[in-house]
Amino acid sequence: MATACPHLSTIRKVKPSAKGCEECLKMGDTWVHLRLCLMCGHVGCCDSSKNKHATKHFHSTKHPIIQSFEPGEDWKWCYVDSAMVG
């Protein structure tokens, strides 16, 4: 269930930085699922992927909210609150 989150105000209209995980593409590596940063548009791989670039992006930038970048999925996650958000 999605919760109210004070970080929802950080969401911006973003353009995805790549069609796949930005860092994995540069490294020639693979990923499991993709996540989109809703503050800057960075596309990174999920925590099920060996490189966990979406979470690394959060730790380096503190951009709090990501959205699934998978077709047919429309959920959002706040790293700060460790919660699904709406």
Question: In terms of Cα–Cα distance, which of 25, 49, 47 is closest to 66?
Answer: 47
Residue 47 lies in a domain: yes
Alpha carbons 77 and 62: distance in angstroms, whole number: 13
What does the pLDDT look like over 6-53, one tens digit per residue? 999 999 999 999 999 999 999 999 999 999 999 999 999 999 999 999
Residue 73 lies in a domain: yes
CB-based contact 76:85 (threshold 8 Å): yes
Residue 11 lies in a domain: yes
User: For the chain, what is the domain count?
Assistant: 1
> Mind giving me the DSSP string for 1-55?
--B--GGGGG------S-SS-HHHHHHT---S-EEEETTT--EEE-TTSSS-HHH
Domain that holds residue 52: 6-85
The CATH number of whichever domain residue 11 belongs to comes to 3.30.40.10
- Please give the model's pTM, rounded to 2 decimal places: 0.94
- Coil, strand or helix: which one is 47? coil
pLDDT band at 4 (very low <50, low <70, confident <90, very high): confident
Which single residue is written with the structure tokens 């950080």?
A: 10
Residue 1 lies in a domain: no
